[in-house]
Amino acid sequence: MAPGKKIFGIVLAGGEGKRLMPLTADRAKPAVPFGGQYRLIDFALSNLINSQLRQIVVLTQYKSHSLDRHVSQTWRLDGITNSYIASVPAQQRLGKRWFSGSADAILQSLNLLRDEKPDIVVVVGADHVYRMDFGQMIEAHIASGAPATVAAIRQPIALADQFGVIEVEPERPDRIGAFREKPRDPIGLPDSPEEVLASMGNYVFDADALIDAVVRDGDRPDSNHDMGGDIIPDFVARGEAAVYDFNNNDVPGSTDRDRYYWRDVGTIDSFFEAHQDLISALPIFNLYNNSWPIFSQVLNSPPAKIVRDGRGALGTTIDSIVSLGSVISGAHLERSVLGPWAKVDSGAKVVDSVVFERAVIEPNAFVGRAILDKDVVVAEGAQIGVDPARDKARGFTVTDSGITVVGKGVHVVP
Ligand code: ADQ
């Protein structure tokens, strides 16, 4: 990858993730558990590490304790070389203010770039599920000659207001002609009116150009200091932004089903659906591709156990993921993802659900179409996710599509 060039990685991990409440009530969005034993940030960091980046900083701010702990415990690059993944909290280096946006996070962290003096900086978000070889994007960036490159993927036009939308130059399809952040009046692609070309929130910059851009942006009183809203449009206005088509990215070991898989799991519905993508019989996203591993915490815990209960009732599990330390005893789990150390007891049923670490489903309880945060207890005989109106009345979050979310540590009673 880019011989002779020094590459530095920045992971933007300071966002609040309001649309994932209550899962983000107590933790930053990149620290939200995903797929049992992972955290959302593991996907971005695995991609960077598999792409051979070895100097990576994670810029944190909002409720960063569990994120910092995860990064420092799980993502240690040992050795005598100058390799690291460092979690860097907001430090008010430029006066008494926190990061006002993702570009301000980089501006306030310029000391890191000035210390390392990289040639190229890869800037990525921390809240998507995907595999991507940034080496291939860096090669395309260098070949294009542009100082900034934005990774892009086609998305349904109905989602345009969640993304930066790219229009390419008709004459030069590798250059961005226009970029609008979260437009309410999107225009479909000429060859596919129901789709737009969306920014994935992943960028490659020449280091000098990035530094100049965030410094210039810092002086603009009208700016929100946001990468997608301010920095990228600034490069585009100067005709200096290239686009990198994610469909040109070929990750080793990927299958036809998951080669172009990319999910923004910013809402409860998309978070829930991405879990279903993991557990379908032919998974749409394959966690078992060892050529491009998704790394996660090493759990010091016993294996998962699925057994009969004391009275001989079977413990059964179909189309599900069960994390280490979990016990399913005389209970049934179906189309669900169980986090570490979870417990499902005699006669209980968990169907179409996502259950986080250490949750307990007591005997004869029923959980359906629900997300249970860490340490939730569903008491004996209680039901959750069966009657959305009742769940709402009980104070739980229920999405329009009928998924009930139970916040950390809550006891659900019958
Ligand atoms: P959003 O995800 O809506 O859109 P944003 O909320 O800025 O943009 O989050 C981007 C990343 O930056 C996230 O990983 C977030 O945690 C982090 N972040 C946000 N505020 C931060 C701050 N103050 N300090 C540090 N980190 C912060 C972005 C782009 C769109 C693109 C979508 C793709 O702006 O153009 O289409 O990502 O999902």
Amino acid at position 80, single letter: I
Would you call 208 helix, strand, or coil by DSSP? helix
Alpha carbon of 15 to ligand 1 centroid (Å): 6
Report pLDDT for 15. Answer: 78
| pLDDT confidence of residue 61 | 84
pLDDT in tens, the chain (414 residues): 677 899 999 999 987 888 999 999 988 899 999 999 999 999 999 999 999 999 999 999 877 888 989 998 899 887 777 899 988 877 666 666 666 789 999 999 999 999 999 999 999 999 999 999 999 999 999 999 999 999 999 999 999 999 999 999 888 889 999 999 999 999 999 899 999 999 999 999 999 999 999 999 999 999 999 999 999 999 999 999 999 999 999 999 998 888 899 999 989 999 999 999 999 877 788 899 999 999 998 889 999 999 999 999 999 999 999 999 999 999 999 999 999 999 999 999 999 999 999 999 999 999 999 999 999 999 999 999 999 999 999 999 999 999 999 999 999 999
Specify the residue with its C-alpha closest to ligand 1, atom 20: 15
Domains and CATH numbers, the chain: 7-272 (3.90.550.10), 305-412 (2.160.10.10)
Distance 393 CA to ligand 1 centre (A): 33
Which residue of 10, 12, 231 sits with most ligand 1 atoms within 8 Å of its CB, as the best mutation to test the pocket? Answer: 12
Largest CA distance in the chain: 73
Ligand 1 atom nearest to CA at 59: 25
Omega of the bond prior to 22 within 30 degrees of 0, cis?
A: yes
Tokens 């409860």 sit at which residue?
268
Three-state DSSP class for 308?
coil
Residues 286-317: tens digit of each pLDDT: 899 999 999 998 889 999 999 999 999 999 99
Residue 345 tokens read as: 């007891």
Q: How far is the CA of 253 from the centre of ligand 1 (A)?
A: 29
For residue 404, the Cα-to-chain-centroid distance in whole angstroms is 21
Atom 14 (ligand 1) nearest CA: 125
Q: Which of 61, 102, 180, 200 to mutate to test the pocket of ligand 1 (most atoms within 8 A of CB)?
A: 102
Q: Are 33 and 374 in contact (CB under 8 A)?
A: yes
Residue 345's alpha-carbon distances to 313, 331, 340, 378, in angstroms, are: 11, 6, 15, 10
Q: Could you tell me if 15 and 127 are in contact, meaning their C-beta atoms sit under 8 angstroms apart?
A: yes
Residue nearest to atom 15 of ligand 1 (CA): 15
To the question of whether residue 223 is assigned a binding role by annotation, the answer is no
The pLDDT of residue 97: 67
Q: Give 160: exposed, middle or buried? Use CB within 10 Å, 0-12, 13-18, 19+.
A: buried
What spacing in Å lies between the alpha carbon of 226 and ligand 1's midpoint? 8
Instruction: Indicate which atom in ligand 1 lies nearest the CA of residue 60.
Output: 25
- Spatial contact of 250 and 135, defined as CB atoms under 8 Å apart: no
Structure-token match 């900034």, residue found? 148
Residue 390: CB atoms within 10 Å: 13
DSSP code of residue 313:
P
Pocket of ligand 1 (CB under 6 A): 12-15, 29-30, 59, 61, 99, 101-102, 105, 125-127, 163-164, 181, 198-201, 226-228, 264
Quote the tokens at residue 243.
């686009």
Ligand 1 mean position, distance from CA 176 (Å): 20
Beta pairing partners, 168: 176
Q: Is 320 annotated as a binding residue?
A: no
ipTM greater than 0.90? yes
Residues 6+ apart with CB under 8 A from 78: none
Question: Residue 300 C-alpha to ligand 1 middle, in angstroms?
Answer: 33
